[in-house]
Amino acid sequence: MNPIEWVFDHAANTPEDVAIAAPNFEMTFGNLVASVQRFSGKFQQLGVRKGSIVGVSARAELDTVVALSLLQIGAISLTASPSVVRSYRDQIDFLVVTETVIGFPLDRQILVNQDFLQSLGMVSPLEIATELQDEDVVRLVFSSGTTGTPKGVEFTKENLVTRTQSARTNWMPADPFMSLLGLDTVTGMQTFYWSVFNGKTWLSPTSPEGNLELISKYLVKAIKTSPAKLDDLLGAAEANPLPLVLEFIEVAGSLLSRRIGERCQKVTGITPLYLYGSTEVGTVTKGYFNASEPENVGRKVDDVDFEVIEGRIRYRKANMPKDYWLNPNTGSSGFHDGWFYPGDLGRLDDEGNLHLSGRADDLVNAGGAKFNLLELDMWLRDANLFDDVATFTFLNDGGEQAIGIAFVSNQPPIPEILTKRIQDFLPNLNPALILRLKELPRNKLDKVDRKAIQELATTLK
Protein backbone atom coordinates (compact mmCIF):
# COMPACT_ATOMS: atom_id res chain seq x y z
CA MET A 1 0.00 0.00 0.00
CA ASN A 2 1.00 3.63 -0.59
CA PRO A 3 -0.09 6.21 2.06
CA ILE A 4 -1.07 8.63 -0.74
CA GLU A 5 -4.16 6.46 -1.17
CA TRP A 6 -5.51 7.87 2.11
CA VAL A 7 -5.36 11.34 0.54
CA PHE A 8 -7.06 10.06 -2.62
CA ASP A 9 -9.83 8.45 -0.54
CA HIS A 10 -10.51 11.65 1.37
CA ALA A 11 -10.65 13.64 -1.86
CA ALA A 12 -13.14 11.14 -3.30
CA ASN A 13 -15.39 11.32 -0.23
CA THR A 14 -15.21 15.02 0.70
CA PRO A 15 -13.49 16.89 -2.14
CA GLU A 16 -14.48 20.35 -0.86
CA ASP A 17 -12.63 20.00 2.46
CA VAL A 18 -9.68 22.40 2.67
CA ALA A 19 -6.38 20.50 2.42
CA ILE A 20 -3.83 23.35 2.36
CA ALA A 21 -4.22 26.90 3.59
CA ALA A 22 -2.04 29.99 3.65
CA PRO A 23 -2.97 33.67 3.99
CA ASN A 24 -5.19 34.47 0.98
CA PHE A 25 -4.89 30.90 -0.35
CA GLU A 26 -6.83 27.66 0.03
CA MET A 27 -6.67 24.37 -1.85
CA THR A 28 -9.33 21.71 -1.43
CA PHE A 29 -8.59 17.99 -1.28
CA GLY A 30 -10.24 17.61 -4.68
CA ASN A 31 -7.96 20.22 -6.27
CA LEU A 32 -4.93 18.90 -4.39
CA VAL A 33 -5.33 15.36 -5.71
CA ALA A 34 -6.03 16.60 -9.24
CA SER A 35 -2.79 18.62 -9.11
CA VAL A 36 -0.81 15.77 -7.57
CA GLN A 37 -1.88 13.33 -10.28
CA ARG A 38 -1.03 15.81 -13.07
CA PHE A 39 2.40 16.48 -11.54
CA SER A 40 2.98 12.74 -11.12
CA GLY A 41 2.24 12.13 -14.79
CA LYS A 42 4.58 14.94 -15.82
CA PHE A 43 7.39 13.79 -13.53
CA GLN A 44 7.17 10.29 -14.95
CA GLN A 45 7.44 11.74 -18.47
CA LEU A 46 10.64 13.48 -17.35
CA GLY A 47 12.19 10.29 -16.01
CA VAL A 48 11.32 10.26 -12.29
CA ARG A 49 10.87 6.68 -11.12
CA LYS A 50 10.42 4.72 -7.90
CA GLY A 51 13.58 5.20 -5.85
CA SER A 52 14.66 8.39 -7.64
CA ILE A 53 16.10 10.95 -5.22
CA VAL A 54 14.45 14.30 -5.88
CA GLY A 55 15.25 17.60 -4.18
CA VAL A 56 12.58 20.28 -4.02
CA SER A 57 13.12 24.01 -3.67
CA ALA A 58 9.83 25.88 -3.97
CA ARG A 59 7.34 27.85 -1.92
CA ALA A 60 5.54 25.72 0.64
CA GLU A 61 2.21 25.33 -1.21
CA LEU A 62 3.97 24.05 -4.35
CA ASP A 63 6.39 21.98 -2.30
CA THR A 64 3.47 20.04 -0.81
CA VAL A 65 2.02 19.15 -4.20
CA VAL A 66 5.44 18.03 -5.44
CA ALA A 67 6.13 15.97 -2.28
CA LEU A 68 2.84 14.11 -2.60
CA SER A 69 3.42 13.54 -6.32
CA LEU A 70 6.81 12.01 -5.56
CA LEU A 71 5.24 9.84 -2.86
CA GLN A 72 2.68 8.61 -5.40
CA ILE A 73 5.49 7.59 -7.78
CA GLY A 74 7.54 6.07 -4.94
CA ALA A 75 10.41 8.52 -5.38
CA ILE A 76 12.41 9.87 -2.42
CA SER A 77 11.81 13.56 -1.73
CA LEU A 78 13.93 16.01 0.23
CA THR A 79 14.08 19.74 0.83
CA ALA A 80 16.91 21.02 -1.36
CA SER A 81 18.64 23.60 0.80
CA PRO A 82 21.87 25.04 -0.67
CA SER A 83 24.02 23.11 1.83
CA VAL A 84 22.26 19.81 1.01
CA VAL A 85 22.63 20.36 -2.74
CA ARG A 86 26.33 21.21 -2.34
CA SER A 87 26.95 18.16 -0.17
CA TYR A 88 24.94 15.60 -2.14
CA ARG A 89 25.07 16.91 -5.71
CA ASP A 90 26.09 13.52 -7.13
CA GLN A 91 23.45 11.55 -5.21
CA ILE A 92 20.45 13.74 -6.14
CA ASP A 93 18.85 12.54 -9.38
CA PHE A 94 16.59 15.55 -10.00
CA LEU A 95 15.95 19.02 -8.61
CA VAL A 96 12.43 20.47 -8.78
CA VAL A 97 12.94 24.25 -8.63
CA THR A 98 11.25 27.52 -9.50
CA GLU A 99 14.58 29.16 -10.38
CA THR A 100 17.60 27.56 -12.03
CA VAL A 101 20.25 26.43 -9.54
CA ILE A 102 23.79 27.32 -10.58
CA GLY A 103 26.27 24.49 -10.14
CA PHE A 104 23.76 21.66 -10.59
CA PRO A 105 23.44 19.96 -14.02
CA LEU A 106 20.69 21.63 -16.05
CA ASP A 107 19.53 18.35 -17.56
CA ARG A 108 18.62 17.14 -14.05
CA GLN A 109 16.69 20.27 -13.09
CA ILE A 110 12.90 20.35 -13.47
CA LEU A 111 12.00 24.02 -13.70
CA VAL A 112 8.43 24.67 -12.57
CA ASN A 113 7.67 27.87 -14.47
CA GLN A 114 4.75 29.09 -16.57
CA ASP A 115 5.64 26.79 -19.47
CA PHE A 116 5.77 23.79 -17.13
CA LEU A 117 2.39 24.59 -15.60
CA GLN A 118 0.79 25.08 -19.03
CA SER A 119 2.18 21.74 -20.18
CA LEU A 120 0.29 19.95 -17.39
CA GLY A 121 -2.92 20.37 -19.38
CA MET A 122 -1.52 17.99 -21.99
CA VAL A 123 -0.48 15.35 -19.46
CA SER A 124 -2.61 12.34 -18.62
CA PRO A 125 -3.09 12.27 -14.83
CA LEU A 126 -1.43 9.37 -13.06
CA GLU A 127 -4.25 7.83 -11.04
CA ILE A 128 -2.51 4.68 -9.79
CA ALA A 129 -0.19 4.86 -6.79
CA THR A 130 3.04 2.88 -6.87
CA GLU A 131 2.96 0.01 -4.40
CA LEU A 132 5.35 0.56 -1.51
CA GLN A 133 6.90 -1.92 0.87
CA ASP A 134 7.47 -1.03 4.51
CA GLU A 135 11.23 -0.71 3.98
CA ASP A 136 11.02 1.59 0.92
CA VAL A 137 12.54 5.02 1.63
CA VAL A 138 10.16 7.87 0.72
CA ARG A 139 11.60 10.96 2.43
CA LEU A 140 14.95 12.32 3.61
CA VAL A 141 15.16 14.95 6.35
CA PHE A 142 18.47 16.65 7.05
CA SER A 143 20.14 18.11 10.10
CA SER A 144 20.95 21.79 9.92
CA GLY A 145 24.56 21.25 8.86
CA THR A 146 25.83 23.98 11.21
CA THR A 147 28.52 21.64 12.55
CA GLY A 148 29.58 20.18 9.19
CA THR A 149 27.94 18.35 6.31
CA PRO A 150 24.14 18.04 6.72
CA LYS A 151 23.25 14.51 7.81
CA GLY A 152 20.29 12.77 6.20
CA VAL A 153 17.73 10.76 8.15
CA GLU A 154 15.82 8.19 6.10
CA PHE A 155 12.07 7.86 6.46
CA THR A 156 10.80 4.58 5.09
CA LYS A 157 7.11 4.12 4.38
CA GLU A 158 6.79 2.30 7.69
CA ASN A 159 8.53 4.85 9.88
CA LEU A 160 6.89 7.79 8.07
CA VAL A 161 3.54 6.36 9.15
CA THR A 162 4.86 5.37 12.59
CA ARG A 163 6.50 8.75 13.28
CA THR A 164 3.42 10.71 12.20
CA GLN A 165 1.27 8.56 14.48
CA SER A 166 3.79 9.05 17.31
CA ALA A 167 3.67 12.80 16.68
CA ARG A 168 -0.10 12.73 17.08
CA THR A 169 0.31 10.99 20.44
CA ASN A 170 3.26 13.00 21.77
CA TRP A 171 2.81 16.53 20.49
CA MET A 172 -0.51 17.12 18.78
CA PRO A 173 -2.69 17.67 21.84
CA ALA A 174 -5.64 19.31 20.06
CA ASP A 175 -7.12 20.05 16.63
CA PRO A 176 -6.70 22.23 14.69
CA PHE A 177 -2.92 21.99 15.07
CA MET A 178 -0.30 24.16 13.36
CA SER A 179 3.47 23.85 13.12
CA LEU A 180 5.29 27.14 12.67
CA LEU A 181 8.34 25.14 11.53
CA GLY A 182 8.70 24.48 7.81
CA LEU A 183 8.77 21.35 5.66
CA ASP A 184 12.58 21.27 5.92
CA THR A 185 12.24 20.29 9.60
CA VAL A 186 11.05 16.95 10.90
CA THR A 187 8.27 18.68 12.84
CA GLY A 188 6.97 20.53 9.80
CA MET A 189 7.25 17.45 7.60
CA GLN A 190 5.41 15.21 10.05
CA THR A 191 2.68 17.80 10.61
CA PHE A 192 2.08 18.04 6.87
CA TYR A 193 1.88 14.30 6.22
CA TRP A 194 -0.24 13.62 9.30
CA SER A 195 -2.68 16.36 8.27
CA VAL A 196 -3.27 15.24 4.69
CA PHE A 197 -3.22 11.53 5.56
CA ASN A 198 -6.02 12.16 8.08
CA GLY A 199 -8.14 14.61 6.10
CA LYS A 200 -7.08 17.68 8.10
CA THR A 201 -6.12 21.13 6.85
CA TRP A 202 -2.39 21.75 6.73
CA LEU A 203 -1.64 25.38 7.60
CA SER A 204 1.41 26.66 5.74
CA PRO A 205 3.80 28.55 8.06
CA THR A 206 4.72 32.02 6.88
CA SER A 207 5.55 35.41 8.44
CA PRO A 208 4.67 36.14 12.10
CA GLU A 209 1.73 38.25 10.96
CA GLY A 210 0.58 35.56 8.53
CA ASN A 211 0.90 32.84 11.17
CA LEU A 212 -1.18 34.91 13.59
CA GLU A 213 -3.84 35.38 10.91
CA LEU A 214 -4.02 31.62 10.22
CA ILE A 215 -4.15 30.77 13.94
CA SER A 216 -7.06 33.16 14.38
CA LYS A 217 -8.95 32.34 11.17
CA TYR A 218 -8.78 28.55 11.49
CA LEU A 219 -9.40 28.50 15.26
CA VAL A 220 -6.11 26.78 15.94
CA LYS A 221 -5.93 25.25 19.42
CA ALA A 222 -2.32 24.05 19.48
CA ILE A 223 0.93 25.18 17.84
CA LYS A 224 4.52 23.94 17.83
CA THR A 225 7.28 26.46 17.28
CA SER A 226 10.82 27.51 18.16
CA PRO A 227 11.71 30.13 20.80
CA ALA A 228 12.66 32.73 18.17
CA LYS A 229 9.48 32.18 16.12
CA LEU A 230 7.41 32.29 19.31
CA ASP A 231 8.97 35.64 20.20
CA ASP A 232 8.11 36.97 16.72
CA LEU A 233 4.54 35.66 17.00
CA LEU A 234 4.09 37.35 20.37
CA GLY A 235 5.28 40.60 18.84
CA ALA A 236 2.69 40.27 16.07
CA ALA A 237 -0.02 39.49 18.66
CA GLU A 238 0.88 42.59 20.68
CA ALA A 239 0.74 44.76 17.55
CA ASN A 240 -2.53 43.23 16.27
CA PRO A 241 -4.43 41.43 19.05
CA LEU A 242 -6.62 39.11 16.97
CA PRO A 243 -9.08 36.78 18.75
CA LEU A 244 -7.43 33.44 19.53
CA VAL A 245 -8.64 30.13 20.97
CA LEU A 246 -5.16 28.73 21.56
CA GLU A 247 -4.84 26.21 24.38
CA PHE A 248 -1.32 24.80 23.84
CA ILE A 249 1.96 26.40 22.77
CA GLU A 250 4.77 23.87 22.32
CA VAL A 251 8.41 24.86 21.93
CA ALA A 252 11.24 22.81 20.42
CA GLY A 253 14.74 23.32 19.06
CA SER A 254 16.34 25.21 21.94
CA LEU A 255 15.68 26.44 25.44
CA LEU A 256 13.36 29.34 26.19
CA SER A 257 14.75 32.33 27.99
CA ARG A 258 12.82 33.52 31.02
CA ARG A 259 11.95 36.67 29.09
CA ILE A 260 10.20 34.85 26.23
CA GLY A 261 8.54 32.33 28.54
CA GLU A 262 7.11 35.02 30.77
CA ARG A 263 6.15 37.16 27.77
CA CYS A 264 4.20 34.21 26.36
CA GLN A 265 2.30 33.81 29.61
CA LYS A 266 1.53 37.52 29.73
CA VAL A 267 0.38 37.87 26.09
CA THR A 268 -1.52 34.59 25.67
CA GLY A 269 -2.18 33.38 29.20
CA ILE A 270 -0.56 30.04 28.21
CA THR A 271 2.45 28.38 29.82
CA PRO A 272 4.65 26.99 27.02
CA LEU A 273 5.26 23.25 26.85
CA TYR A 274 8.80 22.08 26.12
CA LEU A 275 9.38 19.26 23.63
CA TYR A 276 12.91 17.90 23.63
CA GLY A 277 14.10 15.42 21.00
CA SER A 278 15.84 15.16 17.65
CA THR A 279 15.34 14.75 13.93
CA GLU A 280 16.90 11.31 14.20
CA VAL A 281 14.56 9.79 16.80
CA GLY A 282 11.65 12.15 17.51
CA THR A 283 10.21 13.46 20.77
CA VAL A 284 12.03 12.31 23.92
CA THR A 285 10.74 14.46 26.80
CA LYS A 286 8.02 17.01 27.39
CA GLY A 287 7.14 19.29 30.27
CA TYR A 288 5.83 22.76 31.02
CA PHE A 289 8.21 25.71 31.08
CA ASN A 290 9.19 26.85 34.56
CA ALA A 291 10.80 30.30 34.79
CA SER A 292 12.77 29.22 37.86
CA GLU A 293 14.20 26.23 35.94
CA PRO A 294 14.25 27.12 32.24
CA GLU A 295 16.63 24.21 31.55
CA ASN A 296 14.06 21.66 32.83
CA VAL A 297 12.52 20.04 29.71
CA GLY A 298 10.29 17.54 31.50
CA ARG A 299 9.92 13.79 31.65
CA LYS A 300 10.39 11.19 28.96
CA VAL A 301 7.46 10.24 26.73
CA ASP A 302 6.05 6.71 26.81
CA ASP A 303 7.52 5.31 23.59
CA VAL A 304 11.20 6.05 24.28
CA ASP A 305 14.01 4.47 26.30
CA PHE A 306 16.15 7.17 27.88
CA GLU A 307 19.34 7.32 29.98
CA VAL A 308 21.93 9.82 31.17
CA ILE A 309 25.38 8.20 31.42
CA GLU A 310 28.03 10.35 33.14
CA GLY A 311 26.16 13.45 32.08
CA ARG A 312 25.72 12.39 28.45
CA ILE A 313 22.23 11.80 27.11
CA ARG A 314 21.23 8.80 25.04
CA TYR A 315 17.86 7.42 23.89
CA ARG A 316 16.21 4.98 21.50
CA LYS A 317 12.81 4.17 20.00
CA ALA A 318 11.35 1.37 17.96
CA ASN A 319 11.90 1.79 14.20
CA MET A 320 14.54 4.48 14.63
CA PRO A 321 17.30 4.53 11.99
CA LYS A 322 20.53 2.63 12.56
CA ASP A 323 22.66 5.36 11.04
CA TYR A 324 22.54 8.38 8.75
CA TRP A 325 21.82 8.12 5.05
CA LEU A 326 24.88 6.93 3.08
CA ASN A 327 26.87 6.55 6.28
CA PRO A 328 28.01 2.98 7.05
CA ASN A 329 27.48 2.10 10.69
CA THR A 330 31.10 2.48 11.74
CA GLY A 331 30.40 4.03 15.14
CA SER A 332 31.57 7.45 13.95
CA SER A 333 28.10 9.02 14.15
CA GLY A 334 25.74 9.42 17.09
CA PHE A 335 24.32 5.91 16.59
CA HIS A 336 25.92 3.23 18.80
CA ASP A 337 24.63 -0.22 19.77
CA GLY A 338 21.00 0.63 19.09
CA TRP A 339 21.13 3.97 20.95
CA PHE A 340 21.31 7.53 19.64
CA TYR A 341 23.68 9.98 21.35
CA PRO A 342 22.63 13.52 20.37
CA GLY A 343 25.72 15.19 21.86
CA ASP A 344 23.68 16.87 24.60
CA LEU A 345 24.55 16.98 28.29
CA GLY A 346 22.11 16.90 31.17
CA ARG A 347 20.96 15.38 34.42
CA LEU A 348 17.83 13.74 35.79
CA ASP A 349 16.30 15.06 39.00
CA ASP A 350 14.55 12.92 41.63
CA GLU A 351 11.21 13.24 39.78
CA GLY A 352 12.64 12.08 36.46
CA ASN A 353 12.78 15.51 34.82
CA LEU A 354 15.63 16.16 32.40
CA HIS A 355 17.68 19.30 32.99
CA LEU A 356 19.73 20.24 29.91
CA SER A 357 23.17 21.76 30.43
CA GLY A 358 24.20 22.28 26.81
CA ARG A 359 26.13 20.40 24.18
CA ALA A 360 29.30 18.45 24.84
CA ASP A 361 31.02 20.46 22.10
CA ASP A 362 30.20 23.69 23.96
CA LEU A 363 31.89 22.71 27.23
CA VAL A 364 34.76 25.17 27.84
CA ASN A 365 37.39 25.87 30.45
CA ALA A 366 37.75 29.61 31.02
CA GLY A 367 37.97 32.02 33.92
CA GLY A 368 39.33 29.26 36.12
CA ALA A 369 36.26 27.05 35.81
CA LYS A 370 34.49 24.66 33.45
CA PHE A 371 31.08 25.67 32.17
CA ASN A 372 28.86 25.24 29.14
CA LEU A 373 28.23 28.07 26.70
CA LEU A 374 24.49 27.40 27.02
CA GLU A 375 24.66 28.35 30.70
CA LEU A 376 26.31 31.66 29.86
CA ASP A 377 23.82 32.27 27.03
CA MET A 378 20.86 31.83 29.35
CA TRP A 379 22.47 34.05 31.98
CA LEU A 380 23.05 36.88 29.50
CA ARG A 381 19.57 36.55 27.97
CA ASP A 382 18.02 36.98 31.38
CA ALA A 383 20.13 40.08 31.99
CA ASN A 384 17.84 41.99 29.59
CA LEU A 385 20.78 43.89 28.11
CA PHE A 386 20.19 42.67 24.55
CA ASP A 387 17.47 41.83 22.05
CA ASP A 388 19.40 38.61 21.32
CA VAL A 389 22.73 37.24 22.50
CA ALA A 390 24.95 34.17 22.16
CA THR A 391 28.45 33.26 23.30
CA PHE A 392 31.13 31.44 21.32
CA THR A 393 34.74 30.35 21.47
CA PHE A 394 37.61 31.18 19.14
CA LEU A 395 41.39 31.01 19.10
CA ASN A 396 43.10 34.26 20.03
CA ASP A 397 46.37 35.47 18.53
CA GLY A 398 48.28 33.29 20.96
CA GLY A 399 46.44 30.19 19.80
CA GLU A 400 44.51 29.90 23.06
CA GLN A 401 40.76 29.37 23.42
CA ALA A 402 38.95 32.62 24.17
CA ILE A 403 35.32 33.57 24.86
CA GLY A 404 33.36 35.97 22.68
CA ILE A 405 29.89 37.49 22.88
CA ALA A 406 27.70 38.23 19.85
CA PHE A 407 24.64 40.36 20.46
CA VAL A 408 21.77 42.15 18.76
CA SER A 409 20.53 45.43 20.24
CA ASN A 410 19.34 48.86 19.17
CA GLN A 411 21.61 50.30 21.85
CA PRO A 412 25.04 48.91 22.75
CA PRO A 413 25.26 47.79 26.38
CA ILE A 414 27.13 49.89 28.90
CA PRO A 415 30.53 48.15 29.27
CA GLU A 416 30.59 48.40 33.08
CA ILE A 417 27.14 46.79 33.38
CA LEU A 418 28.00 44.06 30.87
CA THR A 419 31.25 43.26 32.69
CA LYS A 420 29.42 43.06 36.01
CA ARG A 421 26.77 40.71 34.64
CA ILE A 422 29.41 38.43 33.13
CA GLN A 423 31.47 38.38 36.31
CA ASP A 424 28.36 37.72 38.40
CA PHE A 425 28.25 34.48 36.38
CA LEU A 426 31.97 33.77 36.76
CA PRO A 427 34.24 36.27 38.58
CA ASN A 428 37.38 35.74 36.48
CA LEU A 429 35.66 35.58 33.10
CA ASN A 430 36.64 38.32 30.64
CA PRO A 431 35.30 38.09 27.05
CA ALA A 432 38.04 38.68 24.50
CA LEU A 433 35.71 39.82 21.71
CA ILE A 434 32.27 41.44 21.64
CA LEU A 435 30.42 41.50 18.30
CA ARG A 436 27.35 43.60 17.59
CA LEU A 437 25.35 42.02 14.74
CA LYS A 438 22.12 42.85 12.92
CA GLU A 439 20.96 39.32 13.66
CA LEU A 440 22.44 36.13 15.02
CA PRO A 441 22.96 33.33 12.49
CA ARG A 442 20.54 30.51 13.25
CA ASN A 443 19.68 27.17 11.70
CA LYS A 444 16.24 26.09 10.49
CA LEU A 445 15.20 25.27 14.06
CA ASP A 446 16.41 28.72 15.16
CA LYS A 447 19.31 27.30 17.14
CA VAL A 448 22.23 29.71 17.25
CA ASP A 449 24.92 28.75 14.72
CA ARG A 450 28.03 29.15 16.86
CA LYS A 451 30.24 27.92 14.03
CA ALA A 452 29.08 30.78 11.78
CA ILE A 453 29.74 33.33 14.56
CA GLN A 454 33.15 31.76 15.16
CA GLU A 455 34.04 32.08 11.47
CA LEU A 456 32.89 35.71 11.47
CA ALA A 457 35.00 36.42 14.56
CA THR A 458 38.03 34.87 12.87
CA THR A 459 37.71 37.26 9.90
CA LEU A 460 37.42 40.27 12.22
CA LYS A 461 40.44 39.53 14.43
- Give Cβ neighbours of residue 174 (< 8 Å, ≥ 6 apart): 221, 222, 247, 248
Q: What number does CATH give the domain 4-193? A: 3.40.50.12780
Fold of 207-312+322-359: Rossmann fold (3.40.50)
Question: How many residues does the structure list for the chain?
Answer: 461
The domains spanning 4-193 and 207-312+322-359 adopt the same CATH topology? yes
Q: How confident is the model at residue 424 (pLDDT cuts 50, 70, 90)?
A: confident
CB 378 within 8 A of CB 257: yes
Task: Give per-residue pLDDT as tens, 50-85.
Answer: 999 999 999 888 999 999 999 999 999 999 999 899
**What is the reported pLDDT for 443?**
83
Q: If DSSP states are collapsed to H, E and C, what string results for 36-103? A: HHHHHHHHHHCCCCCCCEEEEECCHHHHHHHHHHHHHHCCEEEECCHHHHHHCCCCCCEEEECCCCCC
In the chain, domain spans? 4-193, 207-312+322-359, 367-460
* Residues 407-418, mean pLDDT to the nearest whole number: 83
**What is the reported pLDDT for 367?**
66
Q: What number does CATH give the domain 367-460? A: 3.30.300.30
Task: Give per-residue pLDDT as tens, 225-266.
Answer: 999 999 999 999 999 999 999 999 999 988 998 989 999 999
Task: Give per-residue pLDDT as tens, 183-216.
Answer: 999 999 999 999 999 999 999 999 999 999 999 9
Q: Kindly list the distances between the CA atom of residue 243 and the CA atoms of 56, 217, 238, 301, 346, in Å, as whole numbers in the listed order.
A: 35, 9, 12, 32, 39
DSSP secondary structure code for residue 8 in this structure: H
Task: Give per-residue pLDDT as tens, 364-382.
Answer: 887 677 889 998 998 888 8
**What is the reported pLDDT for 221?**
98
Report the chain's mean pLDDT, rounded to a whole number: 92
> Which helix (H) or strand (E) segment is 33 a member of?
helix 29-45
CB 237 within 8 A of CB 180: no
| Listed range (72-86, 130-144, 277-291, 358-372) with the worst mean pLDDT | 358-372
CB 377 within 8 A of CB 388: no
* Residues 343-372, mean pLDDT to the nearest whole number: 90
Q: How confident is the model at residue 385 (pLDDT cuts 50, 70, 90)?
A: confident
* Residues 143-157, mean pLDDT to the nearest whole number: 80
